[in-house]
A and B are shown apart, each in its own frame.
Chain A
Amino acid sequence: MSSETDSSNGALLTVDNLEKHFPIRRGILWEKTVGAVKAVDGVSFEVAEGETLGLVGESGSGKSTTGYCILQLMKQTSGSINFMGKELTQLPREELRRMRREMQIVFQDPYASLDPRMTVGGIVAEPLEVHGIGTRRSRGEQVRKLLDIVGFNPNFTNRYPHEFSGGQRQRIGVARALALNPKLIVCDEPVSALDVSIQAQILNLLKDLQRDFGLTYLFISHDLAVVRTMSDRIAVMNQGKLVEVGTAEQVYREPRDEYTKALFAAVPVPDPHRQRERKAERARIREESRAQTGDGAPA
C-alpha cells in the first residue's frame, strides 16, 4: 500500500499511486479547463497470480476507471502499472499490443458489448485474428473448443448475438476473453445485468475457469455479496480513493474504515430475522457518523 512496492515481490499486477483526472471545461469557443474530476485519486494495490482481487464501490467511486487504466484502454494521469514485470505506462505501442494478449476484459452489458453484425464464431475468433494466431481452420477449431468450455453450444457459431439470452451472451463474452489464454481477466460488473438464477450460472463458470486455468481476476462490482463469493482479497473504493484493502474475511468481518462499515450494513440479506438486526445496526452506524460529522442532512 505504499510507493515502496515493486514487481520483485511476485505480484502479477502492481498498481502504484494511480491517478486519473478528467478535466472540467467551460466555454464554447475559448474553452478553458477550470478544474478536474479526480476519478481515480492515488490508488495502489497488488494482485498475486491466481488470486481474485475484488474491487467494490458505489457508482462514481472510480472502480471501472481503475480497471480501464490497468488495461491501458484509458491513459492514466499519473502513476505506475506493473504487469508481469513490465511497466505498462511506458511501453511502446507495439509491445503494449503484445502484452494485451495476457490481459482481457469481460464487460457488464452482454447486450452492448458484442457486435450485433458479427456471428458468435466471428466474435470469439476476432482476438485470435487480431493477434495472428493459427490458420483459419485451426481458429475455427479453437473457437468451438472455447465455446464448449464456457458451456455454449459450439454448433451455434454461425448465429448472431441477438438470438441469445443475456446469460448465453455473457458466455460468449467470457469465451472471447479466454481466446488468447490470458493471465489476467478484468471482470467489470460481469453479472449485474443478469437475473439471479442466470447470475449464479456465470459466477460458477468464472469460478470453474479460474480453478482450471489458474486465471487471475480483478473483479469489479457494486454487489458486495457477489464480490465476496468471488474474491480472496477485497479492495473498497470511495470517491476515487482506496479506503480499505484486506483479505475477504478481514474486510467483511472487521471492516476498519467507516465507509466500508456503512456500505456493508446497507446491504439487505435474504433473512428477515437477521435483516431486522442489520437494520438496527445500520441505524446505529448512521447516527454515529451523523454525530461525528455534525451533519443532519442525508447523504
Chain B
Amino acid sequence: MAVLEVNDLKTHFFTREGVVQAVDGISFSLEKGKTLGIVGESGCGKSVTALSIMGLIPKPPARIVGGEVLFDGKDLTKLSEGEMQHIRGNEVAMIFQDPMTSLNPTLKIGTQITETILAHRDVSKQEARKRAVDLLKEVGIPRAAERLDDYPHRFSGGMRQRVMIAIALSCGPRLLIADEPTTALDVTIQAQILDLLDALRQEHDMAMILITHDMGVVAETADDVMIMYAGQIVEQASGYELFDNPEHPYTEALLGALPQLEGDEREIREGRLIAIPGRPPDLVDPPEACRFAARCPYADYDDTCSTVEPQLREVRPGHWVRTAHPASERSGERETVNA
C-alpha cells in the first residue's frame, strides 16, 4: 500500500499581482521503501509541492485550494496545526537545501537534536542525549559523543547536512522529503550524502521524495521520476524508462541541455548544447492550453497546442506524459532547436 498519495493538489499564492498557480493539479503515490525524484527548474513548483505535503506553506499568501494529501489514508490538508505537528517529525520529516542556514548557530548541535527528540518522545534528557549520539554515529560523524557539544560553525557543509539528516531521522519517520539536499555541497561531498541517504532509506525502509534540478542526482537515486514544469507534472515514469525513452519535449530538451561528462571528445568540445529558447510562463496568467507550447519545437505542427489543454495520459504502461507530441507519436525529423 502506498505510504503517500497525493491527489490533484493545488497550492496557489494570493499576491497583489494576482493568483500565482504555483502547484496546479499534482497527483502521485509513493510506496514504502521507494524513492520518488521530482525534477524541474526554478519556479516549477517542486518545493511548494513538498511544503504543501508538510503543511509548511506560508499562509498567507499561500493556500491549498484543492486536492488531498493522503498519508496512511489520512488527509493531511484537513488536519489542525496541532495534529500536523505530531505528524511532522514522527511520520514525515524534511531536510532542506542549505545546511548553513537550517541549523541555529547559537545552539549546540546536541541541544538541537535532543530538542527534537524531547518534543516528540516521552524520554528523559539522558536518554535523548544517548539517542543523539547514536544518531550522529549513524549518519557518519566521527567522535559523535564529543561533537554533541560543538556549535554548528565548527562543522563543514557536508557534516552539517549529516546533522540535519540526524535530526530528521530522530523520531523514525516513514517518509523523508529531501529538498535539494546536496545542491550547496561540493560534488565529492554530494556523493557521500547521497550514499548515506540511500543506505538510511534501505535500513529504515523509509519512503523518500528527492527534489532536485540535477538529472544526474535523479538518475542515481530515484525509482520513479516526475518532471514538473510551470506548476504541473509533464512527465512521470520509472527512472529507467524516463531516461531511456523520454517522451515530453521538455524532458528531451532538459537532457539535451546538459553538458556531457562522458562521450566523444571532439563532439563534446565542438558540439552545441540544446538550449530551450525563452523562459517559463508567468504563473499568474499561464497559457490556457499547453504551458510549454511557446518554447516547444513541435508546437507549430498543428494548432491544438494553443487551444486544447493537454492531459496527462499513459503512453506506455506506467509512463505518463502531458503533451500533444510525445516522442513515440512523432513522425518525421526532429526540428532543429536553436539557442
Interface residues of A (CB under 8 A from B): 58-59, 151, 165, 167, 195-201, 203-205, 207, 222-226, 228-232, 248-249, 252, 262-275, 279, 282-283, 296-299
Contacts and interface: CB of A to CB of B under 8 A. Distances in A.
Contacts of A204: 272-273, 275, 339
Overall SS of chain B's interface: helix
Contact of A200 (B140, B195, B279, B339): B339
A102 B268 CA distance: 28
B261 A224 contact: yes
B214 interface: yes
B241 to A, nearest CB: 10
A262 B188 contact: yes
B277 to A, nearest CB: 8
Contact of A198 (B186, B216, B279): B279
A101 to B, nearest CB: 28
B219 A196 contact: no
Given A197-B41, A273-B240, A225 B265 contact: no
A277 B189 CA distance: 19
Given A196-B257, A201-B275, A272-B243, 10 more contacts: A58-B186, A200-B258, A225-B261, A229-B273, A252-B262, A268-B191, A268-B214, A270-B258, A274-B219, A299-B188
Contact of A269 (B41, B142, B189, B219): B219
B15 interface: no
Given A229-B268, A270-B215, A270-B216, A200 B275 contact: yes
A228 B253 CA distance: 20
B239 interface: yes
20 contacts: A165-B279, A196-B41, A197-B41, A197-B253, A198-B275, A200-B259, A201-B339, A229-B259, A229-B268, A231-B269, A252-B261, A252-B262, A263-B187, A264-B261, A267-B216, A268-B219, A269-B260, A270-B243, A275-B219, A275-B220
B257 A199 contact: yes
B193 to A, nearest CB: 10
A79 B303 CA distance: 64
Contacts of A167: 279
A225 B260 contact: yes
A207 B262 CA distance: 19
B269 A232 contact: yes
Given A204-B275, A267-B261, A298 B192 contact: yes
Top 10 nearest A-B pairs by Cβ distance? Answer: A268-B216, A197-B276, A270-B215, A229-B259, A200-B273, A200-B257, A58-B186, A266-B191, A200-B275, A201-B275
A13 B279 CA distance: 38
Interface string B234-269: 000001100100000000011111111110010011
Interface in B251-302: 253-262, 265, 268-269, 271-277, 279
Contacts of A231: 269
Contact of A195 (B187, B213, B256, B272): B213
B41 A229 contact: no
B219 A271 contact: yes
Contacts, number: 134
Interface in B180-206: 186-192, 194-195
B311 interface: no
Contacts of A165: 279
B258 A59 contact: no
B124 interface: no
Contact of A58 (B188, B243, B254): B188
B104 interface: no
A196 B213 contact: yes
B217 interface: yes
B36 to A, nearest CB: 14
A266 B188 contact: yes
B102 interface: no
Contacts of B260: 225, 228-229, 269
B42 interface: yes
Contacts of A248: 265, 268-269
Contacts of A273: 240
A225 B272 CA distance: 13
A72 B265 CA distance: 33
Contact of B243 (A195, A229, A271): A271
A266 B243 contact: no
A88 B26 CA distance: 58
Task: Give the interface centre of A151, A252, A298 by most chain B CB atoms within 10 Å.
Answer: A298
A167 B260 CA distance: 21
B279 A196 contact: no
A39 to B, nearest CB: 16
A201 B254 CA distance: 12
A272 B217 CA distance: 9
Contact of B217 (A200, A223, A268): A268
Interface in B207-237: 213-220
Nearest to A201: B275
B262 to A, nearest CB: 6
Contacts of A296: 142
Nearest to A59: B186
